[in-house]
Chains A and B, each alone.
Chain A
Amino acid sequence: MSFEQILMEVLKTLNLEFIVLIASGTLIGLIVGALPGLTTTMGIALLTGITFKFSGHAAIALLMGLYVGGVSGGSLSAIMIGIPGTPANAASILDGFPLALAGKGAKAITVSRSASVLGTLFGIMCLAFFTPILSNLALKFTSAEFCLLGLFGVLISGTMTGADLAMKGWIAGIFGLTIAMIGIDELTAWHRLTFDSPELTGGLPFIPIMIGFFGIPQVVESLSAEQEVLVAALDKSKTRLMEVLRHWKVALRAGLIGVGIGIIPGIGEDVAAWVSYGVAKKASKHPEEYGKGSIEGLVAAETADNSCIGGAIIPLLSLGIPGSPPAAVLLGAFMIHGVRPGPMLSFEFPAFLYQSVAWLLVATLFMRFMALGLARPMQKILTIKNAILMPIVAVLCAIGAFSLDIRYIDIILVFFSGVLGILFRKGKYPPAPLVLGIILGPLVDTNFRRALKASNGDFSIFVTRPVSLVLLLSIVLLILGQLGAFAAIKSRLTRTKQST
């Protein structure tokens, strides 16, 4: 496809309808992101149910707007009430809330907004540049590489996102892979784990599981918690973009960290923000100011979580492997709307990458201008009682899941996924690997068997190709590292040295 043709395709999806949809998506995202308890992942899952009757590209544009709005919207509540709207903005509380309490709320919001814009733009730039490269590389991948890439994604996500033991992350990921096995096998039409139930033969639909898994535990938890919200007053001070650009080194480093973490499957914005904040604090000349209202700290956290958006979409579009939980739900929405991301995407929809870039740019623009305007009305919205908001969320969970296929079983699925979500929260099992496991299950399964078939059942196919060997070694090292093998070797070496 020539440059002119791509440009025409991009312009076709930038008409008034698309602009309105992206603006609506961004606005919904900002509100969903700002309301504690409603995450971006949940927002995308819920809105997918509403948009299933839209044309494919229009729905995706709306959801991408929500993704951009959601991640930056969370900083509004982090700054104004000291509660992160989404996990991605938890690091922003450390400096944003003290600034607001010191009467510089508007300044904190404008700084966070400018940093978000910088981060998102950096992520989008990387998306446009690296996706074609990774897609071309992925075209050379065989089944063995795809299978190991999927497994690596699930395991690394489990390792990085676990709050307790890394093994819990692995269990969550493998449990997700198990859920993905339910239904008729694609290659042989054999019924797997269906308990002879006709409802299970088609497999478990991803979106209702996500709605239940993220939505129901939040409703239950919020309704059971005692709510006390302190909203910081907003001043009239504002910050120019140039003031944020003074911290360009911090912003650039945060952008790189965000994109880098975004590319790693299933890890996401929250990890990016914390890593970036930690690195910025270590590298700062004034680390003592961090946690007391440091502009640098706020820039580091907000730039990283927003640049992670572009980073997370890179493996999504090029490999079909999402880089973050919201990107995983976005992948589910893509599939519902007939877009199958992966290396073949550039052949099936040659302009899709550039259309996505354009939608994300438009969403960033809207996010920039909507956020501050929304800050004052949000002061009121943030005081809405959970007892009002959460029952409405429960209703949306039910109707959102039901509207996809008009099946009652999806409602049952929402409920039981919700119970599973509650158990996961109580046991400190991270949700991201489970999401990734469900979404990558078919990829791991079919490619594992294809690879074995191609090698006549010889497992050496997983070590004879350079990329698969690297991936397999990474998996082995990851597991050994978490099991403490390296620490044991190191202590043994130290003891040997001391004795000699």
Chain B
Amino acid sequence: MEESTRRLRTLDFFMGIGFAVIGLYVAVDGFRAFISPDLSTVERPSNPGVTTMFIGGMLALLGLIIAIIGFRGSRTPFRKATEVIRETLRKRTFLKGLIALACIAVYFFVFWGRIPYVISTFIFLAGIMFIFKAGAWWKIFIISGVTVAIVWYVFGVLAMVPLP
């Protein structure tokens, strides 16, 4: 089996377990609704737990199958995962992706609602463009400024969205 396929199967093993756990939780939530005394007046076929039990059960089963396929394909999923994680952490593309995601997280969770929209968006745009070397500083400032002005005008003025 090719190395890339083994790596994919390792990920399949962990994602399969994840899906199986989620499916199990959904099925249990459905079962709780199915036996809940609060829903005793509702006819059994109309019980909201019926579909969730069915869907959760299917997700758990398929997740388990994928995990088994992953385990068989990867052979040593835990050792392989450690190896892949170590390698990935050293990759330039991964670090760049992580920085991009972190910038977005800061903009969404720290800036949003705490700093006025126009200022926070300008800081985010200029900052991320600086980090990813989009061009000369004055170009970045102009592009960020013009973008913020357009977004503010289209959403804040034309669409009358109360910007944070």
Residues of A within 8 A of B (CB): 50, 52-53, 164-165, 167-168, 170-171, 174-175, 177-178, 181, 185, 187-188, 190, 192-193, 216, 219-221, 223-226, 385-388, 390-392, 394-396, 398-399, 402-403, 406, 408, 411-412, 414-415, 418-419, 422-423, 426-429, 444-445, 448-450, 452-453, 455-457
Closest to B96 in A: A224
Given contacts A387-B129, A388-B143, A394-B107, 18 further A-B contacts (CB under 8 A): A170-B62, A175-B59, A187-B46, A188-B47, A193-B52, A223-B132, A224-B97, A387-B128, A388-B135, A391-B103, A399-B161, A411-B112, A428-B8, A444-B51, A445-B51, A449-B46, A452-B50, A457-B45
How far, in Å, is B38 (CB) from chain A's closest CB? Answer: 8
How far, in Å, is B115 (CB) from chain A's closest CB? Answer: 13
Chain B 54-79 interface mask (CB, 8 Å, partner A; 1/0): 11101100110110010000000000
Contact B45 A175 (CB under 8 A): no
How far, in Å, is B159 (CB) from chain A's closest CB? Answer: 5
Closest to A184 in B: B48
User: B59 contacts which of A178, A388, A414 (Cβ < 8 Å)?
Assistant: A178
Contact B129 A223 (CB under 8 A): no
CA distance A394 to B131 in the complex (A): 15
Contact B52 A181 (CB under 8 A): yes
> Please, which residues of chain B bring their CB within 8 A of the CB of A395?
107, 121, 124-125, 147, 151
CA distance A396 to B159 in the complex (A): 14
Chain B 1-31 interface mask (CB, 8 Å, partner A; 1/0): 0000000100110010001001100100110
CA distance A455 to B50 in the complex (A): 15
How far, in Å, is A116 (CB) from chain B's closest CB? Answer: 29
Question: For chain B, what secondary structure do more than half of its interface residues adopt (helix, strand, loop), or is it mixed?
Answer: helix
Closest to B148 in A: A395
> Please, which residues of chain A bring their CB within 8 A of the CB of B93?
224-226
Check A423/B15 contact, CB under 8 A, given A170-B62, A178-B59: yes
Instruction: Rank and list the top 3 A-B pairs by shortest CB-CB distance, nearest first.
Output: A452-B45, A224-B97, A387-B132
Check A220/B161 contact, CB under 8 A, given A225-B93, A391-B125, A411-B108: no
Contact A224 B94 (CB under 8 A): yes
Contact A188 B134 (CB under 8 A): no
How far, in Å, is A411 (CB) from chain B's closest CB? Answer: 5
> Please, which residues of chain B bring their CB within 8 A of the CB of A394?
104, 107, 124, 128
Contact A190 B104 (CB under 8 A): no
**What bracket does the count of chain B residues touching chain A fall in?**
35 or more
CA distance A453 to B44 in the complex (A): 8
CA distance A422 to B159 in the complex (A): 31
> Please, which residues of chain A bring their CB within 8 A of the CB of B147?
392, 395
User: B63 contacts which of A171, A449, A450 (Cβ < 8 Å)?
Assistant: A171
Closest to A457 in B: B45
CA distance A144 to B116 in the complex (A): 52
User: A192 contacts which of B48, B59, B105, B125 (Cβ < 8 Å)?
Assistant: B48
CA distance A78 to B101 in the complex (A): 28
> Please, which residues of chain B bring their CB within 8 A of the CB of A444?
51
How far, in Å, is A402 (CB) from chain B's closest CB? Answer: 7
CA distance A335 to B51 in the complex (A): 23
Check A223/B96 contact, CB under 8 A, given A174-B62, A187-B48, A449-B51: yes
How far, in Å, is B39 (CB) from chain A's closest CB? Answer: 6
> Please, which residues of chain A bring their CB within 8 A of the CB of B63?
171
Is residue B162 within 8 Å, beta carbon to beta carbon, of the partner chain? yes
Contact B96 A167 (CB under 8 A): no
CA distance A428 to B70 in the complex (A): 13
CA distance A328 to B128 in the complex (A): 32
